[in-house]
Chains A and B, each alone.
Chain A
């Protein structure tokens, strides 16, 4: 059973618009949550990591929130650029060490059009 669900599955926005990506999970324990960006044909690049209850992070035009009670995270992208076209993957870690496992969502495919 999939333990990390992302929505929407795909999303098309115009350059300059804002967008919000959602991640719901059932992983227990949920030590931390990461968002990755995967360009087509490339590897995953870490955008941010959230650790604490009600954590919020900001990395340039990317900002993320985590609600551990609801087991829910959002990734906000502000003023999208064409280069934001990629798949965004939500990942939940069940421990804070290498002994833990990462649980991957299937990703949201974002397409930014001119």
Chain B
């Protein structure tokens, strides 16, 4: 069953704490993404990874970093979380090409208090 798995599903952190969001995929997709989704806005790209240790900033990378040491795992790290990073975070993966499908995880709901 092809899927993207995100852990944890829900997370509450205090301002200033470090946050680790994990994402795994079982499709051997080269490309993986981290997005955040806020009410009334489209998904915004935080980081994109083209393969192991080949990561690029997206549109809103400030306050985030990523790690991809294995093709199937892509982590999002918030060093010293801020309240404005409260959001729903989605991981996705895709193979290359237009007709390849994008597979999204179910999201991690992060609340920073």
Contacts and interface: CB of A to CB of B under 8 A. Distances in A.
B43 A41 contact: no
B43 A31 contact: no
Contact of A98 (B4, B31, B44, B105): B31
A4 B90 contact: no
A96 B98 contact: yes
B90 A43 contact: yes
Contacts of A96: 97-98
Interface of A: 2, 4, 31-32, 34, 36, 41-46, 49, 51, 89, 91, 93, 96-98, 101-107
B98 A32 contact: yes
B1 interface: no
B99 A2 contact: no
A1 to B, nearest CB: 12
Interface of B: 4, 30-31, 35, 40-45, 48, 50, 59, 90, 92, 94, 96-99, 101-102, 104-107
A29 to B, nearest CB: 12
Contact of A43 (B30, B59, B98, B106): B106
A104 B59 CA distance: 12
Contacts of B35: 104
Contact of B42 (A43, A93, A97, A106): A106
Contacts of B44: 104
B40 to A, nearest CB: 6
A113 B30 CA distance: 41
Given A43-B4, A49-B99, A101 B45 contact: yes
A107 B106 contact: no
